[in-house]
Chains A and B, each alone.
Chain A
Amino acid sequence: MTPARSESATRFARRLSLSRGFTSWAVYVGKAIGWGTVLWMIGWVVVAIIAGAEVLPKFKQPISVQWLPIIFSSLAGLWLLLSASRSSTPPINLNGRDVYRLALTAEDAREVLDWPLNFARVFRFSVAFILGVVWTVIASYWFDIFTPFAAITLGCIAALTVDLEWLAYSARGSENTAARAWLNTLVLVVVVSSLAGGVLGFGLASGFWNLNPLGLLPVALLILGIIGSRASLTRGYPPRFAAQSQILSTLRSMMLMSLVARSRPDPDQHRRLRDQLLGRVSSIRPTRSLPLPALDSSVLLAVAWRSTLTLYRRPVFDQIGLILQLAFVVFSSISTVSGVGGFLLRALALGFLLPRLVGPAMPIISTPIRTSERSLGRTLPGLAIIGVVGIICLLASSLLNYPLEPALLGMSRAMLGLLLLEKVATWAGFSSTGVEASTSAATLALVPAALLETFGVGSYTLIAQFTVMMILLLPTD
């Protein structure tokens, strides 16, 4: 493929990579799923949506539409104003290749960023458009109003958030007066039209309750936003864009990879990248540290210290979330949901909890650390946390006059699950944050209880769980 005579380098590179990317994607989907199957599935989704709409209950008296203007105008206005205040990171990014091959060359910034901006707009527009269609259906059934412009209104508002975020980002800390002027103008229009919508019943979001084509104001706003974004690029890129693009690119690759690998991205690596993206001091040096282990400490203690350090350095709200999640798992045995439903509920709660308690992986495998030292070192801090939270739960049970056994069962099950997660991940070569490892570990941790209850000897579950734990703690090397 060669560039057309008048085609710029950016357009040529973009056309080439997109057409090749699309072709390989189409071939991959065709081979992996089959396009016939995809079309068949889409057909059934449409049928399901229509069937869903038909079973929506109809009221004898339609619900009053009196509050709709205020609700929708406020929500739309708030959403757009929040977007206009998001100035720390760009809504789009270039991948590593494009930063070097295009952004650092003499190519016009507008041309380079046309594709990522348009892609972000189209993506947000499409998702919002579908939601708008859903609203149109619901509105006709429940409110007895016909809102054919709701989908376009919502789509345009969603797409406009891209431009507001971009203008806010461009205007921050730079002398980009064009971006600042466009941002201020758009914010003013958003505020006025939002207030008009709420008070007069005609404005920013009136497509949600109004049939008047003038309710398509967001279309005009979106056009203004696009013009504003292009105007902001006449002086080139915002100062931090190239550096942040690289980090965003890595972050998005991580998310994509975790989606493909059916795992959660490594939360600590994700946090480090976020810190780096926002230029926080914690991306360079830790804000919290534990004392170093003594020089005559064992290898096991060294590995356990590293695991503890990782858990300790997580943000406080993350740690509080972990403790609450753990308390839920411990108390889930008290749940009255029994049978398969109860089993699934407990497995699900445990599966979400376990990856957050295991210590970081040891990628440098030429280090002389025994499997048993690594395995125990990665789980010891998590076991200690479960123990402490478990004891608090036991005390709470005692104070509330609940029986102690369910909390004990929940605590030992969490401990067993953690040990199993580390073993499963090590034996099968899975990532300990992966769906496979956490689901397997959570399911296996529930097996003793399920089996013993099936045979009518559920009272032995606690002993069985502790026995399996002891077996797992035996050194295997």
Chain B
Amino acid sequence: MSDAPILKLVDLEVVLARTQILENVNLTVNAELVWLTGRNGAGKSTLMRALAGLLPFKGDVEIVGFSPRSIDARSKFAFVPDEPALYEDLTLLEHCRFQALAYRQPQAEARMLEFLEKFNLENRLGEFPSSHSRGMRQKLSLSLCLGLELPLLVLDEPFNGLDAPAQALLSSALRDRVKAGHAVVVSAHQGDLAKTMLEGNVKARVLLIEDANLKDTSLEVGVRVETQNLKELNA
């Protein structure tokens, strides 16, 4: 892997339908957890979609030194959108095999199946996700992402629709990823989950999107979500 930061945004600007959604966003992410927060419509999903190369933007976005639209960058990160994006024609098991082959990581399939088992979906492997509930679809989407060994995971509202044990499992899995030297960018509103996740002694930051820009509010948000001093955790 190169010495480049895992994720680097320089003067990122996103304008959609003549509306300035993001302006001069600068961010460098290394092996850490970045918790994105902000009001509805603040631009969290837009930022994530832009850095995944799914939206037009101005400025520079680099994923391990590559442009997000390049094949090199795409093999370095996985993106989980807020609405699970799945292949409705494939069963859960077929999803795992296809995803492992698409990312050229044969060993990832076993890990994906392990996550599906932890999410209690092991008996539903032969079913189509279209017949499943929102939470079950989200679990599949997350298993496909968590099974991959990639430097960067970008997860948009990943806790939505999950039951409490699944939320705990996801928090723990994301903390483990950061401890293993990977970067995780998560957007969510759940303050209690932020507390749980950021208490795990991982390098973390809480960023607030407000007025089309990013603000590092680790301390403020830390107080609001009643965690310990997050700046200390960051140190």
Contact = CB atoms under 8 A, between A and B. Distances in A.
Contacts of A286: 91, 126, 128
Given A285-B127, A295-B109, A309 B52 contact: no
Contacts of B90: 306, 309
B91 A285 contact: yes
A268 to B, nearest CB: 6
B101 interface: yes
Interface in B106-130: 106, 109, 126-128, 130
Given A292-B97, A306-B98, A284 B128 contact: yes
Contacts of A296: 106
B17 interface: no
Nearest to B75: A368
Interface in B129-188: 130-131
Contacts of A477: 71
Query: Binding site of A, secondary structure by majority: helix, strand, loop or mixed?
Result: loop
A276 interface: yes
A363 B85 contact: yes
A377 to B, nearest CB: 10
A476 to B, nearest CB: 13
Nearest to B97: A292
Contact of B89 (A283, A302, A360, A366): A360
A477 B75 CA distance: 16
A272 B106 contact: no
Interface in A351-393: 360, 363-370
A292 B126 CA distance: 12
B78 interface: yes
A19 interface: no
A272 B88 contact: yes
B54 interface: yes
B104 interface: yes
A253 to B, nearest CB: 16
A295 B99 CA distance: 11
Interface string B53-78: 11000000000000000010011011
Chain A interface residue number, banded: 20 to 34
Contact of A302 (B52, B77, B101, B128): B101
Nearest to B90: A306
B202 interface: no
B225 to A, nearest CB: 30
Contact of B100 (A269, A295, A305, A368): A295
Contacts of B109: 295
A444 B122 CA distance: 48
A299 B102 contact: yes
A172 interface: no
A347 to B, nearest CB: 29
B102 A309 contact: no
B71 A276 contact: no
Nearest to B141: A364
Contacts of A284: 127-128, 131
B88 A368 contact: no
Nearest to A273: B130
Given A302-B101, A368-B103, A285 B88 contact: no
B102 A302 contact: yes
Find the residue from B88, B98, B103 having the highest chain A CB count within 10 A.
Answer: B98
Contacts of A301: 101
B128 A292 contact: no
B29 interface: no
Given A360-B89, A364-B87, A366-B53, A285 B128 contact: yes
A305 B131 CA distance: 23
B93 interface: yes
Given A309-B90, A310-B89, A360-B87, 11 more contacts: A269-B88, A276-B130, A276-B131, A285-B91, A306-B89, A306-B98, A360-B89, A364-B85, A366-B78, A368-B102, A477-B71
Interface of B: 52-54, 71, 74-75, 77-79, 85, 87-91, 93-94, 97-104, 106, 109, 126-128, 130-131
Q: Closest 5 CB pairs between A and B?
A: A302-B101, A368-B74, A368-B75, A295-B106, A284-B131
Interface of A: 268-269, 272, 276, 283-286, 289, 292-293, 295-299, 301-302, 305-306, 309-310, 313, 360, 363-370, 477
